[in-house]
Amino acid sequence: MKHPNTLSDKQTAALMAMLVALMPFSIDAYLPAIPEMAQSLGSNIHRIERSLSLFMFGVAFGQVTGGAVSDIKGRKPVALAGLGVYALSSLGLVLTANADQLLLLRAVQAFGAGMSVVVVGALVRDYYDGRQAAQMFALIGIILMVAPLLAPMAGAALQSLGGWRAVFAFLLVYALLLLFLVGRFLPKPAQSGKIGVDVFGVVAARFKRVLQTRGALGYLFFQAFSFGSMFAFLTESSFVYMNRYGVSPHGYAWIFALNIITMATFNRVTAWRLKTGAHPQHILRWGIIVQFAANLLLTALVLAFVLPPLWALVLCVMFSVGTQGLVGANTQACFMNYFKQDGGSANAVLGVCQSLIGAGMGMLVTWLHNGSVLVMAGMMLASTVCGIVLLWTFSHQAWLENERGMEGF
């Protein structure tokens, strides 16, 4: 299905990927700088780590607002408004003087990011269906792999050049670039409705319709808890690698890159299998198996050795985090396939649940922190298990129906 603008599919995917890349740049770029930020702002490192979870909570509220309003006013105005909020808060973060200001401004920045990013899935839903939608999500994902691969390296380099504030200066420049590109190239909404006093009732009704679609909920919950597994790692990774194993900021960035390379490889497998006619659920099944096995082995190693060899820890995390390349596009395609209408609200619900559950898992990691690697490994495994149980509980029948509908297997 062709979209109403002058960009090709690949160019459209590139623009959407740049929007989505706000998330990995906002999260991953400052991970190597967390110890320096804590020292500079006179704060405990685990309080600075909580800014990651707070960011995800802010993203959730931004997605609720942006997804619903974009169904009424159109995708472009919402994306521009979110980017404006993001840019202003990024400027504030460059100038922040203490941890309290950092946490507050990160929440505001996250709200803007959520408003901007939520329109991407809705745009795909607007113009693509079924396997074609999954292919578009996969194409966006392939392009998007560059952001989390480069973000920690860029963050470490910026930290070396100008300290941790340089990271937020970069985010400000990136947001201004996106404001220009979205304003110039994203298609104007075909029609723009009015937001009246009953907007909250309209939003609630649309969200209710999404949440009452039982068959879709299992896919939603698995994606959210799969993300939660990765976010548990993100929250504690700088402490584990840099404090427990003595890895330098640049070394951390290179180790982190291995996760993204694995993710990109799995994402490429997803794109190839979809092109050869595979059902998204078939690919998702393998993602579930690999993620569960990697997290189970990681937890077993930590229980056996307390501080496992670094290579073994890195290898398990590579496969666990890497499965996002097998999970993300396919759970999103299975979930969004239920919603021919209200695509923005459905994508917002998906994003909100992913953000809230991811933030919750990250917050639990900081609360349970005891200086061991077991907290990170155990929470990664627990999150994956929760996702599997909820997938089976809510989408058992839908899963079996999809299995019967698959061809060539």
Domain interval for residue 21: 9-184+199-402
Q: Is residue 194 part of a domain?
A: no
Q: In this predicted structure, what is the pLDDT of residue 108?
A: 95
Q: Given its phi and psi angles, is residue 277 left (phi above 0), alpha (psi -120 to 50 degrees) or beta? A: left
Nearest one of 107, 126, 102 to 38, comparing CA atoms: 102
Read off the pLDDT of residues 367-386 as tens digits, 9 standing for 90 and up.
888 889 999 999 999 999 99
Q: How many secondary structure helices (H) and strands (E) does the chain include?
A: 17, 0
Q: Which residues contact 51 (CB under 8 A, 6 or more apart)?
A: 102, 103, 106
Q: Which two tokens stand for residue 87?
A: 């840019």
Q: Is residue 150 part of a domain?
A: yes
Q: What are phi and psi of 248, to 5 degrees?
A: -75, 165
pTM attached to this predicted model: 0.76
pLDDT above 60 for 391 = yes
Quickly list DSSP for 200-229: HHHHHHHHHHHHT-HHHHHHHHHHHHHHHH
Share of residues in the chain with pLDDT > 70 (%): 88
CATH number of the domain that 216 lies in? 1.20.1250.20
Q: Comparing 87-91, 161-165, 294-298, which segment has the lowest mean pLDDT?
A: 161-165
Q: Comparing 118-122, 161-165, 344-348, which segment has the lowest mean pLDDT?
A: 344-348
Read off the pLDDT of residues 200-210 as tens digits, 9 standing for 90 and up.
676 677 778 88
**Please, which pLDDT band fits residue 4 given cuts at 50, 70 and 90?**
very low
As a whole number, mean pLDDT of residues 69-91 equals: 88
81 or 150: which carries more pLDDT confidence?
Answer: 81
Q: Is residue 327 part of a domain?
A: yes
E strand residue ranges, 178-312: none
Read off the pLDDT of residues 245-256 as tens digits, 9 standing for 90 and up.
999 888 998 998
Q: Is residue 287 part of a domain?
A: yes
Rounded Cα distance, 323 and 267, in Å? 8
Q: Is residue 190 part of a domain?
A: no
Indicate the SS3 state at residue 371. coil
| Tally of domains within the chain | 1
Read off the pLDDT of residues 278-316 as tens digits, 9 standing for 90 and up.
888 889 999 999 999 999 999 999 999 989 999 999 999
> What per-residue string of b and e applies to 237-266 under the rule 16 or more CB within 10 Å gives b?
bbbbbbebbebebeebbebbbbbbebbbeb
Residue 45: exposure state from Cβ atoms within 10 A (0-12, 13-18, ≥19): middle
Q: Given its phi and psi angles, is residue 342 left (phi above 0), alpha (psi -120 to 50 degrees) or beta? A: left
Q: Is residue 252 part of a domain?
A: yes
Decide: 61 and 355 in contact? Cβ < 8 Å. Answer: no
Q: Is residue 156 part of a domain?
A: yes
Rounded Cα distance, 321 and 74, in Å? 34
Q: Is residue 409 part of a domain?
A: no
